Amino acid sequence: MYLKEEMNNYLIDLLPAKEAWIEEMEAEAVTDHVPIMDKVSMHFVTQLIRMYQPNRILEVGTAIGYSSLRMLQANPEASIVTIERDEKRYKQALERIRQQGKENNISVILGDALEEIPKLDGMFDLVFIDAAKGQYKRFFELASPMLSTGGVILSDNVLFKGYVAEPEMATGRYKKMVGKIIDYNEWLMQHPHFTTSIVPIGDGVAISVRKP
């Protein structure tokens, strides 16, 4: 966690009670080592959705369908398109979405987002990027032309366990990944067509809004 552990635990303790299916999915993710969005960041994103009320959402990185279902819960009238390249997780997501009776609101695509995003039609009011960290810039570039006026792009894990501030502490496979996230953050902040704020909550959430 990028937040000091004690502070993060405090925020988790403050969160309101959740429905049983949410608790089950969070437990499943821990057991199966599935990287879903952390509880505090997820609560923050759902609050943003309540504020913005996006009608159409694109999610890059479905995993088991946790964030899609949580985002839909924040705006039950939304339509969500979500992309997952891992077939096992894709099937898990379909089952979870079916269990909640949300098949009409959430469409899950099996495939590589780099190939699938260009095939999509229409515009999106919100894009949520939470997939392969090394491809964040490309995901952003592919999705941004589909962003509606006043739309928002959210990028998760942009502080990556705090390593972006201390890249020398990263070891092994994290080293290259941290470098790419640092490059992505700098690129975002200098983007000529977007204004970005990085919120140091959970593992870091970047909020990018297209300039007028």
Correct CATH for 5-210 of 3.50.50.60, 3.40.50.150, 3.10.350.10, 1.10.3720.10: 3.40.50.150
CB 108 within 8 A of CB 79: no
The residue with tokens 């006026």 is 149
Write out the binding residues.
37, 67, 84, 112-113, 130, 156-157
Which one, of 190, 195, 189, lies nearest residue 211 by Cα? 195
Sheet containing 124-129: give its strands across. 106-110, 79-84, 56-60, 124-129, 147-156, 205-210, 194-199
| pLDDT of the residue at 8 | 79
| pLDDT of the residue at 166 | 87
Please report, to the nearest 10 degrees, the dihedral formed by the alpha carbons of residues 45, 50, 51, 56 taken in order.
80
Write out the binding residues for S-adenosyl-L-methionine.
37, 67, 84, 112-113, 130
| pLDDT of the residue at 107 | 98
Write out the binding residues for Mg(2+).
130, 156-157
pTM above 0.75, yes or no: yes
| pLDDT of the residue at 3 | 59
What are the per-10-residue average pLDDT scores of the chain (212 residues)? 72 87 94 92 96 97 97 98 97 97 98 98 97 95 96 95 86 86 96 96 94 86
| pLDDT of the residue at 1 | 43
